[in-house]
Every structure is written in structure tokens, then in C-alpha cells.
Amino acid sequence: MEKSWNNRAWFLVLPVLALVAFSAVVPLMTVVNYSVQDTFGNNEFFWAGLEWFEETVTSERIHAALGRQVLFTAIILAIEVPLGIFVALHMPKKGFWASLCLILMAMPLLIPFNVVGTIWQIFGRVDIGLLGRTLTALGIDYNYTNDWLDAWVTVIVMDVWHWTSLVALLCYAGLQSIPEAYYQAAKIDQASRWAVFRYIELPKMRGVLLIAVLLRFMDSFMIYTEPFVVTGGGPGNSTTFLSIDLVKMAIGQFDLGPAAAFSIIYFLVILLISWVFYTVMTNLDREDRP
């Protein structure tokens, strides 16, 4: 759609601007303020320059947390995206069963994060959980509270359980927009199932898949509550992701300076990657919208 130039449109944006500025810019300034100061208590602050930033960039503890975070995000994207597409391709197209599938699939998305953690905690426990009991009965030595590999598997399966539906629902929405005639044409050309997927379905899902990857990337990169409830960041530090580490630092130990520097770097990393996604996405949008 051709948009007309009108600077008075700013008045319509003003309420949003005021609200978000209050709840984003002011707190962000506080963070920046802390990141360059040091304190010995009593609300006395001293200029610390870039000390905290240097500490953050060179801290091995944060490197380790970042490494775990990247690995976690990579694994869940590698599982959730293909699985989501696969499920979307097999969903019923319309009618009662389609509605039922949609509703049931959306269920995990509306469960409060800590209840998701609780569900998997009591599902996975060796003494009272169905999963833990079953695996033990099968002769598998599974205990997510003291084995780091089991903890990782539990946290990843939990995230797949929680969020694959989001990817699937997005892909389903993309598939719904494909006219039946495309499939008929493919049938006449005797296109294989793979060719239909590669040249009809995948291009139509491109836009929504980008949204899905963007949302999943952002949210998994700042995951906090679910792993915290299940494993508490342990055993040891094996499931301490960036947010868990940050909250430990800021609210647990009250190390404001380092925590603030850490926050800023953390935010910038997410921002940078999301900006790349966003630019790609809007460019695609422009091609799609005549």
C-alpha cells in the first residue's frame, strides 16, 4: 500500500512513546548508571569507568554461561523448527479436528512459565514422576537432579514440549494461505511430495518461519523461569544460562556494577542478532507486499 507522508501521525504514536519510554528508557538509564560506578554500600557511588565491562568481557564464568546459552538455543532451534514444520504439514486442514488440534496445541503456550517448570519437575522426578519412573523401569539410569546430561535432556525436551506448537501454528497459518490450485497444478505435473514441499510449501512459509525463528531465538536466549524451577541452574552450574546467572548476580549477590555491565552486553548481543533477522524479514515483506 502506498503510504502518504504525514508528520502529524506522530500524535497517534505519542501515547505509546510516553508509556514505553517510562517503562524502558528510565530503567535502562539506571542500568547504564550502575554499570560505570562502584559502591561500598550506604548508597555511595564512585566512578568506575569501564572496569565492569572489562571484567564481564573477560569473565570465565560468563563465557561459560554464554557458551551454554548458545548451545541451548542452537539445539532447541534445530529441533523445534523442523519438528514444527513436520507437525504443521500433518495437521488437518479444516473442520472439527483442525479446531481441536489448534486448541490442544496452543495449551502449553498459555501455561505460566513456572508451572511449565513444575509440570516437568513432577513428570521427570525419579520417585513420583511418570517419566522418571518409566525410564528407571526400562533400566536407564536417569536422574536430572544429579546428572548434567539428564538435566540438559530434560530442559531441552521441556522447551520442545513448550514451544514447538508455536512454530507449528505459524507454519500452519502459512500453509493455509496456499490456494488449492497450486496443489492441483503440482499433481498434473506429477510433482513428487518433496518437490511440492520444496517449491510450493516452503516458499509460502518463508515469512512466518522467519517470525518463528526470531521469536524462538529471542525467547530462548532470555529463558529464565523454566530451567530455574526444574534444575535451579544445576547440577553444579551445568544449566545456568545467561538470565539465571544475571539474576543470581543482581538480586542474589547484589553485585550491581558487574550485573549492569553484563546486562548491557547481553541486551546488545540480542539486539544485534535480532536486527539482522528484522532487516531480512522486512526486506522479504516488501517483496511479498505489492
| Rounded CA separation 83/199 (Å) | 19
- Cβ-based neighbour number of residue 40 at 10 Å: 7
79 scored as a contact of other proteins (CB under 8 A):
no
User: Which of the residues 24 through 43 are near other proteins (CB under 8 A)?
Assistant: 24, 26-28, 30-31
C-alpha cell at 27: 530503567
- Cβ-based neighbour number of residue 64 at 10 Å: 14
Q: Are 228 and 244 in contact (CB under 8 A)?
A: yes
- Residues in contact with other proteins, counted by CB under 8 A, come to a total of 95
157: amino acid identity, one letter:
V
256 scored as a contact of other proteins (CB under 8 A):
yes
Minimum distance, C-beta of residue 151 to other proteins, in the bound complex (Å):
17
Residue 48 vs 261, nearer CB to other proteins: 261
Minimum distance, C-beta of residue 148 to other proteins, in the bound complex (Å):
22
What string marks each residue from 181 to 210 as x (binds other proteins by CB under 8 A) or -?
A: --------------------------xx--
C-alpha cell at 178: 496456499
118 scored as a contact of other proteins (CB under 8 A):
yes
Residue 86 vs 199, nearer CB to other proteins: 86
Among the listed residues 64, 91, 156, 186, the single contact to other proteins using CB under 8 A: 91
Q: Are 225 and 249 in contact (CB under 8 A)?
A: no
DSSP H or E stretch at residue 47: strand 45-47
User: Which of the residues 8 through 27 are near other proteins (CB under 8 A)?
Assistant: 8-10, 12-13, 15-17, 19-20, 22-24, 26-27
How big is the chain, counted in residues? 290
The stretch near other proteins (CB under 8 A) out of 40-48, 55-63, 230-238, 263-271 is: 263-271
Q: The cell 545467561 sits on which residue?
A: 242
